[in-house]
Chains A and B, each alone.
Chain A
Amino acid sequence: MRKQNRFAHLYLVLVFAVLYAPIFYLMYYSFNSGGTMHGFEGFTLDYYREVIQDTRLIIIVINTLVIALLSSSIATLIAIVGALAIQRIRSRRGKNSLLSLNNVLIVSPDVIIGASFLILFTIAGVKLGFVSVLLSHVAFSVPIAVLMILPHLQEMSPTLTDAARDLGASRRDVLTKVILPIIKPGIFSGFFMALTYSLDDFAVTFFVTGNGYSTLSVEIYSRARQGVSLSINALSTMIFLFTILLVVGYYFLTRRKSRPAAVSESVAEVGVPR
């Protein structure tokens, strides 16, 4: 038993080593004064300085963040409405076909979505740039957020809303005080999924960027054609550390709020004793 346990641990360590090795490899060489990814010559912070001084790169990072934050929150708001609407449909067939349409959008290749958007924007006369990127990111994020929110809606017992209506809650109250608090975890997971999708999307964004407006994934791709400079390593390291900080911060935040309270909170808000 013990032996088996140790084996499992070893396996886990191996898997994580494989997953993280490329990232650490990249981080290690971001300090290489030699300028290439082979042969470590000496320690330098030059590439970090280069990134900080490269205003255009920083503007692109900001663009990427703005697009990710805006598109995922807009998409989440749309997805809440969408999920509620799907949930309301009584006929099983109608519900299933809407859900399948939603899923088709998730599995369809990014390249095709990107090309279609390019054609659409061209016909509609939308100039490529901030607006086109934002619209397309919202569009491909909505189905993901819907998929995150729906299970929470389906889990919710219909008796809860019935009880709320019986106790004299208005339609609005039922929505804001019963339904939304219960599906809150779904909303947040939908938001974060959309956020990561938007941050690293390349294929769709590649088609709809233009006029000097660019996001990080597209910029790194076009720089990579001339060989990846170590300043990209430095930038990636900085972004990686920033993500780690966020995750650690989130971990401590959720640790402080004891879990049972978080679950009963929604129920407490409606005033149902538990």
Chain B
Amino acid sequence: MKQLVNTFLAIFIVAFALMYLGSWMNKSEGYSGGNTLTIYNWGDYIEPELLKEFQEETGITVIYQTFDSNEAMLTKVEQGGTTFDVVIPSDYAIAKMREEKLLLPLDHSKLSNLGNIDPRFMDLSFDPGNEFSVPYFWGTVGIIYNPGLTEGIDFSSWDSLWDSRLKNKILLVDGAREVMGMALNSLHYSVNDQNEQHLQQALSKLNTLSPNVKAIVGDEIKMLLANEEAAVGIVWSGDASEIMDENDKLDYVVPEEGSNKWFDNMVIPRTAANVEGAHQFINFMLRPDVAAKNADYVGYSSPNLPALALLPEETSGDTRFYPPAELTDRLEVYDNLGKKMLAHYNELFLKFKMHK
């Protein structure tokens, strides 16, 4: 009995000593109190040096956490048990968060660098007046292809994907909005089309694509394309630039019928603990030198105009990733379709997948 009591006492003492040590380390590192900023971002979506730089300039310690889908992020933020100060979701997720009143309005007077953002990317449908969000990166959905494996097919139109020479050569990204949007675009409809007849047309057009589709995959699409396991892929422009970094034989094109343009934006969730610090961080990320450094590391397109001048000419002049205004004007942002319509999109996409 004595041994039992002593052992458990010892265990408790050790545990509390460790706990004390842990909280002491926390304090000495500045991880506690109002001096921290918790950032919730996509994996590998910021230049790590910038976090250190921000820490040195402001004395605010950054706690950096990552998510891998808008849905996972939404769950954690909605749950409310956590306090994230800055979150970086995509356009449709922001519309949803705004609807559910999960966001704090931004104080524009604290964002002196807001003017650096290209006016083309301000005041978009998912957040009129940029009341809640500031653009972080943007991009398009398009076709990446390997000229060596596609016999000179011209991919400037979505219809080229239906070419019989591409049998079993196309990889699709596993996203209902992307694939349905592509089919709707190829029929010259909007990516946000809600007309049932148009949607059914898109589905039957997709079904005729199935012989050409090799697989519908997630993030591994990058690896597969870079290793030339497939000739063609429907991907986001950021992924495309990563793939092309690894394998420079590939090329990327945004078809002329139109496509989706997407935005990842910085927002402050309602549960934020350090609203002042969050504004400081957003303003810091809007600085041209910071935005340029970040864009250089991440490889996505920066919406920051003065930053473009700081980037190497071959990056900022690359019209595949920094397309001219006449193209971007034709591209559409995903609207928040609402729960019911989104479920319908998912269902149609599932039908296509089963057909496959």
Partner of B81 from A56, A58, A76, A128 at Cβ < 8 Å: A128
A180 at interface by CB-CB < 8 Å: yes
Provide the B7-48 mask, 1 if CB < 8 A to any CB of A, else 0: 110011011001101100110010100001010000110000
Q: Which of B21, B22, B66, B80 contacts A222 (CB 8 A)?
A: B66
The reply on A65 being an interface residue by CB < 8 A is: yes
Q: Which residues of A contact B25 (CB under 8 A)?
A: 55, 58-59, 62
Query: B56-90 vs A: 1/0 string, CB under 8 Å?
Result: 00000001011010000000100111110000000
Residues of A within 8 A of B65 (CB): 212, 222
User: Which interface residue of A73, A118, A180 has the most chain B CB atoms within 10 A?
Assistant: A73
Expressed in whole angstroms, the Cα–Cα distance for A226 and B4 within the complex equals 45
Q: Which residue of B lies closest to A219 (CB)?
A: B65
> Which of B4, B12, B83 counts the most A-chain CB atoms under 10 A from its CB?
B4
A122–B83 contact, CB under 8 A? no
**Which residue of chain B has the shortest Cβ distance to A67 in the bound complex?**
B15
| B3 contacts partner chain A, Cβ-Cβ < 8 Å | yes
Check if A105 is an interface residue, CB within 8 A of chain B: no
Contacts of B29 on A, CB cut-off 8 Å? Answer: 55-56, 59
Smallest CB gap from A180: residue in B: B1
- Closest Cβ of chain A: how far from B198's Cβ, in Å? 37
Inter-chain contact B1/A177, CB cutoff 8 Å: yes
A222 CA to B72 CA, complexed, in Å: 13
* B-contact bits for A178-196, CB 8 A (1 contact / 0 none): 0011001001100000000
In the complex where A212-B36, A212-B63, A225-B68 touch, is A73 in contact with B26 (Cβ < 8 A)? no
CB interface residues, A 70-120, toward B, < 8 Å: 70, 73, 76-77, 118
How many residue pairs, one in A and one in B, have C-beta atoms under 8 Å apart? 79
By the criterion CB–CB under 8 Å, are A66 and B15 in contact?
Answer: yes
Contacts of A69 in B (CB 8 A): 11-12, 14-15, 18
Inter-chain CA distance A178–B98, complex, in Å, is 64
Please, which residue of chain A has its CB at the minimum distance from the CB of B8?
A73
A121 interface residue per 8 A CB criterion: yes
Contacts of A127 in B (CB 8 A): 81
B43 cross-chain contacts in A, Cβ below 8 A: 222, 225-226
> Chain A, 51-63, contact with B by CB distance < 8 Å: what is the 0/1 string?
0000110110011
A111 to B231, CA, bound (A): 38
Give chain A residues whose Cβ lies under 8 Å from the Cβ of B76. Answer: 210
| Given known A55-B25, A121-B81, A212-B31, contact A62–B1 (CB-CB < 8 A) | no
Q: Is A211 an interface residue (CB 8 A)?
A: yes
**Which residue of the partner chain, among A62, A70, A188, A226, contacts B21 with CB atoms under 8 Å?**
A62
| Smallest Cβ-Cβ distance to B17: which chain A residue | A66
| Residue among A62, A122, A184 with the highest chain B CB neighbour number at 10 A | A62
Partner pick for A126 among B7, B44, B63, B81, CB 8 A cutoff = B81
A55 to B1, CA, bound (A): 39
What is the CA–CA distance of A128 and B79 in the complex, to the nearest angstrom? 10
Contact digits for A18-34, partner B, Cβ 8 Å, 1 yes 0 no: 00000000000000000
What CA separation (Å) do A56 and B66 show in the bound complex?
Answer: 15
Q: Which of A164-217 contact B (CB under 8 A)?
A: 176-177, 180-181, 184, 187-188, 210-212
Q: Are A59 and B31 in contact (CB under 8 A)?
A: yes
Q: Determine how close the nearest CB of chain A comes to the CB of B268; give it in whole angstroms.
A: 16
User: Would A184 and B82 count as touching, CB distance under 8 A?
Assistant: no
> Residue of B at shortest CB range from A128?
B81
Give complex CA distance A63, B18 in Å: 8
Mind listing 15 A-B residue pairs with CB under 8 Å? A56-B31, A58-B25, A62-B22, A73-B15, A76-B8, A118-B79, A121-B81, A122-B79, A211-B81, A212-B31, A212-B38, A212-B63, A212-B65, A222-B65, A226-B43
Measured CB to CB, the residues of A under 8 A from B are 55-56, 58-59, 62-63, 65-66, 69-70, 73, 76-77, 118, 121-122, 126-128, 132, 176-177, 180-181, 184, 187-188, 210-212, 222, 225-226, 269
Beyond contacts A69-B18, A73-B8, A77-B8: 17 other A-B pairs, Cβ-Cβ < 8 A, are A55-B29, A59-B26, A62-B19, A62-B21, A69-B12, A69-B14, A70-B12, A128-B82, A180-B4, A184-B4, A187-B4, A211-B83, A212-B36, A212-B63, A212-B65, A226-B43, A269-B1
